[in-house]
Amino acid sequence: MKKIMFSVIMLGILPTLTFAQRTERVLKDVTTPIMVKVTEENVRCSEIGYGFSELKLNVPSLRWLAVLDHSNAENLGPCVTAGACANPDLDRPGRSPLDIIINGEDLVKTDVRIILTEVFEKHDEQCFRSLEEKVELEIRGVPFKHFATKSIGTLPVEECL
């Protein structure tokens, strides 16, 4: 019975939905060698900005290497994340700052890849334009990333890519 009700509801809703047409154009795809300070002050598990605890690493050089702001509400500057932190109380696996902190080896040389993409989305006779930026790097075998986006306005639908 539930499957029949779901089918009837979907048949009523689907014809009214319109989907955005998305077109992307890569503006920048650059890999740059950087030095990252990996210490207890720069690596932490934090829930701010994500809703659950994530392993975060401050990367100050993103201030001038990236176009968009990769900071979050902690006001500690630009950062990247390696995903969920372990929480033994909840029996949740994950990462720990100890995965990448090595006493006496504070500075780590790595490559940071930054991909800036211009996005056009056609929807209901409007063209929405935005920038999306992905940051990727690896510290001691642990991959980190961050994603930022910013709306940069609308265009006449005829000018939408």
How distant, in Å, are the alpha carbons of 2, 68, 157 from that of 134?
41, 10, 27
Give the per-residue pLDDT at 18. 57
Q: Is the pLDDT of residue 16 over 50?
A: no
Element (DSSP H or E) covering residue 63: helix 62-65
Only one residue has tokens 């955005």, namely 20
The answer to whether the beta carbons of residues 95 and 85 sit under 8 Å apart is yes
Q: Is the pLDDT of residue 5 over 60?
A: no
Stated pTM of the model: 0.82
